[in-house]
């Protein structure tokens, strides 16, 4: 029998020590900073998801795309669901899950239809109206206190989005533009409900109920409008399901860790991700207004992160003083 290489042992110990340090540093972060981290990941994945939906919607009906997407998300979640039974399906807020399912179905149908029919940039910027709905609903429903800094970050970030897209002309006030705005309102309510539900249910439970129930609602329409997907579309549908699952999980963790009105401004980074995706995959370079708007968005987001870091230290300092 060959002896174990001592170097491998040292490497494993060092790796374990590094993981522990990172774990402790992560736990020491304020909840809002953790939420911001997950929100940035979620917005990237949602931008990729929108591009996949638009590509698939060229031939397949939106309800078919939605149903297959939800089915794949449920399959991905299946191992965690079955291993955790019955706890993985146990909820303390069944009525909230029911309301969330209906609102999520409306948000996805209206939102995906807008993504398919409108220019991607226009549907993206119209979707940012969700931030204003989310801030309003957070104040009314969650009783969150919104200070000057958070309002400023939200408004400045939206100004940056308007500079980039300048939603005039093609977007117009047509039915799909109205669908995008309505989807934003429904999505904001969904986010508020997730914020409430995530305090009592596990992320896998929250995702499972939405994936299964929304899929069941869309199934009859999917059957009626069914078109057999080709090989490329099958691959894109599989990617859509996987990306959507990861995006939803990241979004749930963001809302679970941070306050809704803190997370909201970071949704603006989606337009930055969308610009990068457009350059890499479609060869479309942004105009100078995009660089200006992106700088404003990133500055507003970084300022919010800085304010939350300072606020977190101020909160932790009195606790440290009492302990010492």
In 3D, which of 290, 255, 267, 7 has the Cα closest to residue 158? 267
For the stretch 124-145, pLDDT in tens is 777 777 766 777 777 777 676 7
User: In whole angstroms, how far apart are CA 8 and each of 2, 15, 17, 185?
Assistant: 13, 10, 14, 54
Structure-token pair, residue 172: 């117009």
Q: Tell me what the pLDDT averaged over the chain comes to.
A: 78
Q: Which long-range contacts (CB under 8 A, 24 or more apart) does 184-187 make?
A: 184/111, 184/126, 184/127, 184/128, 184/129, 184/130, 184/133, 185/129, 185/130, 185/133, 186/103, 186/104, 186/106, 186/107, 186/110, 187/103, 187/104, 187/107, 187/111, 187/127, 187/130, 187/133
Whole-number pLDDT of residue 253? 86
pTM for the complete prediction?
Answer: 0.71
For the stretch 141-195, pLDDT in tens is 767 676 777 778 778 877 876 776 665 545 445 688 778 888 988 988 888 888 7
Cα four-point dihedral sign 270, 276, 282, 286 = positive
Q: What are the extents of the domains in the chain?
A: 36-306
For the stretch 272-281, pLDDT in tens is 787 777 777 7
Angle CA 139–111–176, to nearest 5: 110
């Amino acid at each position: 029998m060959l002896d174990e290489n001592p170097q491998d042992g040292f490497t494993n110990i060092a790796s374990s020590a590094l993981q522990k340090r990172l774990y402790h540093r992560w736990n020491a972060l304020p909840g809002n900073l953790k939420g911001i981290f997950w929100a940035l990941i979620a917005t990237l994945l949602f931008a990729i998801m929108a591009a996949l939906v638009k590509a698939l919607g060229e031939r397949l009906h939106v309800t078919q795309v939605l149903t297959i997407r939800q089915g794949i998300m449920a399959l991905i979640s299946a191992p965690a669901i079955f291993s955790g039974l019955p706890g993985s399906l146990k909820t303390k807020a069944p009525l909230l899950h029911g309301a969330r399912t209906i609102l999520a179905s409306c948000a996805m149908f209206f939102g995906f239809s807008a993504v398919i029919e409108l220019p991607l940039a226009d549907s993206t910027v119209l979707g940012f109206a969700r931030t204003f709905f989310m801030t309003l609903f957070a104040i009314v429903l969650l009783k969150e206190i919104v200070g000057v800094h958070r309002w400023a970050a939200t408004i400045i970030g939206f100004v940056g989005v308007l500079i980039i897209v300048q939603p005039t002309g093609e977007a117009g006030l047509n039915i799909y533009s109205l669908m995008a705005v309505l989807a934003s309102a429904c999505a904001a309510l969904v986010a508020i409900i997730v914020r409430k539900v995530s305090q009592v249910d596990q992320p896998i439970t929250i995702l499972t109920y939405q994936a299964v129930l929304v899929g069941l609602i869309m199934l009859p329409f999917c059957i009626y409008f069914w078109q057999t997907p080709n090989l490329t579309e099958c691959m894109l549908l599989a990617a859509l399901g996987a990306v959507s699952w990861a995006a939803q999980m990241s979004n749930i963790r963001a809302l679970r860790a941070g306050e809704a009105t803190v997370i909201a401004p970071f949704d603006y980074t989606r337009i930055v991700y969308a610009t990068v995706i457009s350059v890499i995959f479609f060869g479309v370079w942004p105009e100078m207004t995009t660089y200006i708007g992106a700088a404003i968005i990133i500055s507003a987001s970084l300022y919010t992160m800085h304010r939350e870091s300072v606020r977190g230290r101020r909160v932790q300092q009195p606790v440290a003083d009492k302990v010492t």
